[in-house]
Amino acid sequence: MPRPAVDPVRAAATKALRQEAGRWLKAGRESAGLTQAQLAEQVGMRYYTFVSQVESGLGRVPIEMQRAWALAVGLDPAQFARTLLAYYEPELNRLLFGDAAHPDAQRAFGT
């Protein structure tokens, strides 16, 4: 069965959410006083450029790295994962947690 065509409105919304997630992640890293290279080292990455890609909205924090990333920036891993779920998979987040589950990124890092 062929895949349905990509909905441009939905694609734009996904891109915007990824960029918002990137800003949230960058704020967390900066709040923790870490450079991209330091964060990459703490979470076991070889290259800091992946952190840059995630912060710009071009990539996602892999599920298997979310705990290490959360701890590196001083956040509760469960809340960190839930916040990323709201950004990366908003429909699944709504199904699991209801409509009021989108994170308040500003409050998460006290900015």
CATH number at residue 69: 1.10.260.40
Over the stretch 32-41, which tens digit does the pLDDT of each residue have? 999 999 999 9
Q: Is residue 66 part of a domain?
A: yes
Give yes or no for residue 61 having a pLDDT over 80: yes
Provide the pLDDT for residue 67.
98
pLDDT in tens, 80-103: 999 999 999 999 999 998 866 555
d(CA 60, CA 84): 9
Query: Mean pLDDT across the stretch 22-45?
Result: 97
Relative orientation angle of helices 90-97 and 77-88, to the nearest 10 degrees? 120
Q: Is residue 27 part of a domain?
A: yes
Q: Note whether residue 5 is domain-resident.
A: no
| Structural domains counted in the chain | 1
108, pLDDT greater than 90: no
Residue 63 pLDDT > 80, yes or no? Answer: yes
Residue 19, in any domain of the structure = yes
Q: Give residue 104's domain range.
A: 11-108
| Residue 56, amino acid | S
- Output the CA–CA distances (angstroms, integers) from residue 74 to 62, 78, 109, in the order listed: 18, 12, 9
